[in-house]
Chains A and B, each alone.
Chain A
């Protein structure tokens, strides 16, 4: 049969798009390479989850799906999904959303006009979005309402222009959050509880968060975490218009002629290959796999990949640097309250002297002991012996971790290409990730690291340590930018509607579209922008 639309990838972007198209009456084929993923599947393993995955993880992809990661010394490394160079985002129905922490940030108005506000630093590809905050704001609100966001409406309204309050009150503040609140008050910093895609009260026929200790990196045991897997994708399926294929890999997009996509060829879990046609193809596979599929679908009309007429496909890859400072409260402060993140500041998102943009700072999600040991111990503390044991006993109940994403300054050399020799289990060239962050991003990260330390100092902590920013490419769960939108086909991959410039019926709807990625967790923007793209498709009757 011929579908009206094929959507490649059932994550944050694809899930939203599927719901909008199916509800408009279109016949939709939604194809996901991962599986349905539930709390029952994952056995609550502290060593194999999406927060700590060095021995494996609780979502896809599995074996036979390597990537190539090029380190700053130019050496190529073949990396597996559970290794950090892979820059993985979960592959499952819902994409990263079943296992994320669910920070539900709108980007700020100036995040959409970074070049206009700050100019374009040398070596960077900083640019304005083709749309404004005001154009995206109604879609943010739809997503906040339809997927479900809890938040501190009055205090957040001082940061973003917003029409209506959040539909749920903020999640519980931790003892750590209250402690940091006093320090922020003393500094004169505006703080609030971060908005989360987590039910603070029952919502959408699902219960409230229980405040458990397994949150980010795990599926929610009471289904109080809101992603596309339990909102938009079920909505799409409920129409009867959407067919969801899981464990199915799209191999390439087929073209009818130079300007028209015909459909896709995929391989299902049983190893059979199928070719299906559709009036429209939408790629929502994330900022690494979306360009990879477009590269792997090259034709004689598009010899360098679909959408690569301008040479921008795969470039401007970014995924947030995370400066991090850790301190020890004078007294135990651990209260075991999940989700854990309960205070943030946007005081330094913009307007910092001699800094391009800035970032957000927040306390950390509830941190499992082994993750503290692996990631948060000061470098000089021994890793074994009596001193190590005593340090864990002293520090774990007292530690405070302040971190947050900075506004990356994109550069064209941070990029996804396809590797010339390494193939995946389907015989397709794998994604090759190369480049480094722009020096301005390092400066911003250093500046934000100092602000994190300042917050801890004001709180009166015993000692402070941290992770100095590294210039390595970072493009994991927050990956973005590789199919940037723009009004000028010479400098972008898609137009403002998410349509590939030279191809009438081929769209992108995921973080790849982000021209810049804000100084915030990007998922709410991925959902809102996909909502806008999908609504545009429906409105134009495509």
Chain B
């Protein structure tokens, strides 16, 4: 579904959207794995948007910072995604940058806050941090 660069970019976006702090972030919770599974199943309609946007994101990083997106600092990556939310681009985008950021933010939240049975939120790490405990 993704080449190595696209996949590295995807992971870097996850890390930026749900950063690790005193509590685990999106990568430790397996949000990247959740996204792959989702895009292979119910999210199959989003695949071309992701492929196109992840490639454009890499070009944005190269044009702005002469680096791959995955090599950007947290601040650089965050600022770049904020620029995309305002549809400020330097690379060629075949899909709406702001729509992609909003879409991927929602998918990341699904992988982070939904139940671990869906493939993300490993060991319920997000629930521990917000105080939710699934109880029968």
Chain A residues with a Cβ under 8 A of chain B: 43-47, 55-56, 210-214, 221, 332, 334, 336, 338, 368-370, 372-374, 383-386, 388-389, 392-393, 396-397
Q: Is the CB of A336 within 8 A of B105?
A: no
Q: Is the CB of B131 within 8 A of A396?
A: yes
Nearest-neighbour CB distance to chain B for A305, whole angstroms, equals 36
Q: Which of A212, A214, A338, A384 contacts B18 (CB 8 A)?
A: A384
Q: Which of A44, A213, A383, A388 contacts B117 (CB 8 A)?
A: A44
* CB nearest to A367 among chain B residues: B132
Nearest-neighbour CB distance to chain A for B119, whole angstroms, equals 10
Is chain B's interface secondary structure helix, strand, loop, or mixed overall? helix
Q: Which of B18, B102, B118 contacts A47 (CB 8 A)?
A: B118
Q: Cα distance A137–B117 when bound, in Å?
A: 45
* CB nearest to A56 among chain B residues: B42
Q: Is the CB of B115 within 8 A of A45?
A: yes
Q: Which of A46, A211, A383 contacts B135 (CB 8 A)?
A: A211
* CB nearest to B129 among chain A residues: A393
Q: Cα distance A373–B17 when bound, in Å?
A: 14
Q: Is the CB of B131 within 8 A of A334?
A: yes
Nearest-neighbour CB distance to chain A for B125, whole angstroms, equals 12
Q: Is the CB of B109 within 8 A of A373?
A: yes
Q: Is the CB of B118 within 8 A of A386?
A: no
Is chain A's interface secondary structure helix, strand, loop, or mixed overall? loop
Chain A residues whose CB sits within 8 angstroms of the CB of B17 once the complex forms: 384-385, 388
Q: Which of A46, A211, A392 contacts B115 (CB 8 A)?
A: A46
Question: Does B68 sit at the interface, judged by CB under 8 A?
Answer: no
Chain B residues with a Cβ under 8 A of chain A: 16-19, 21, 23, 25, 42-43, 78, 81, 101-102, 105-106, 108-110, 113-115, 117-118, 126-127, 129-136
Chain A residues whose CB sits within 8 angstroms of the CB of B108 once the complex forms: 384
* CB nearest to A377 among chain B residues: B109
Q: Cα distance A338–B108 when bound, in Å?
A: 27
Nearest-neighbour CB distance to chain A for B117, whole angstroms, equals 7
Chain A residues whose CB sits within 8 angstroms of the CB of B18 once the complex forms: 384, 388-389
Q: Is the CB of B114 within 8 A of A213?
A: no
Q: Is the CB of B110 within 8 A of A334?
A: no
* CB nearest to A395 among chain B residues: B130
Q: Is the CB of B130 within 8 A of A392?
A: yes
Chain B residues whose CB sits within 8 angstroms of the CB of A332 once the complex forms: 131
5 cross-chain pairs, A with B, having the tightest CB-CB distances, nearest first: A384-B17, A384-B105, A396-B130, A369-B113, A46-B114
Nearest-neighbour CB distance to chain B for A472, whole angstroms, equals 21
- Identify 12 new A-B residue pairs, CB closer than 8 A, beyond the known A370-B109, A383-B105, A385-B78: A46-B115, A213-B132, A221-B136, A332-B131, A369-B113, A370-B113, A370-B114, A383-B109, A384-B18, A384-B105, A384-B108, A385-B81
Q: Cα distance A56–B45 when bound, in Å?
A: 14
Known contacts A46-B118, A47-B114: A336-B109 contact under CB 8 Å: no
Q: Is the CB of A212 within 8 A of B135?
A: yes
Chain A residues whose CB sits within 8 angstroms of the CB of B127 once the complex forms: 369
> Can you give 12 contacting A-B residue pairs, CB < 8 Å?
A43-B117, A44-B115, A55-B42, A212-B135, A336-B132, A338-B135, A368-B132, A369-B130, A370-B110, A373-B113, A388-B18, A392-B126
Nearest-neighbour CB distance to chain B for A208, whole angstroms, equals 13
Q: Cα distance A56–B23 when bound, in Å?
A: 31
Could you say which of B101, B108, B118, B132 has the most chain A C-beta atoms within 10 Å of its C-beta? Answer: B132
Chain B residues whose CB sits within 8 angstroms of the CB of A397 once the complex forms: 130-131
Q: Cα distance A334–B109 when bound, in Å?
A: 20
Q: Is the CB of B16 within 8 A of A45?
A: no
Chain A residues whose CB sits within 8 angstroms of the CB of B102 once the complex forms: 383
Nearest-neighbour CB distance to chain B for A282, whole angstroms, equals 37
Q: Which of B19, B115, B117 contacts A386 (CB 8 A)?
A: B19
Known contacts A47-B114, A369-B130: A374-B109 contact under CB 8 Å: yes
Q: Cα distance A388–B43 when bound, in Å?
A: 23
Q: Cα distance A386–B135 when bound, in Å?
A: 28
Known contacts A56-B42, A369-B127, A384-B18: A213-B135 contact under CB 8 Å: yes
Could you say which of A56, A372, A384 has the most chain B C-beta atoms within 10 Å of its C-beta? Answer: A384
Q: Cα distance A385–B18 when bound, in Å?
A: 5
Chain B residues whose CB sits within 8 angstroms of the CB of A392 once the complex forms: 113, 126, 130
Could you say which of A47, A213, A397 has the most chain B C-beta atoms within 10 Å of its C-beta? Answer: A47
Q: Cα distance A388–B85 when bound, in Å?
A: 15
Chain B residues whose CB sits within 8 angstroms of the CB of A386 once the complex forms: 19, 21
Q: Is the CB of A396 within 8 A of B109?
A: no
* CB nearest to A389 among chain B residues: B18
Q: Cα distance A180–B43 when bound, in Å?
A: 40
Nearest-neighbour CB distance to chain A for B67, whole angstroms, equals 20
Chain A residues whose CB sits within 8 angstroms of the CB of B106 once the complex forms: 374, 383
Q: Cα distance A372–B132 when bound, in Å?
A: 12
Nearest-neighbour CB distance to chain B for A172, whole angstroms, equals 13
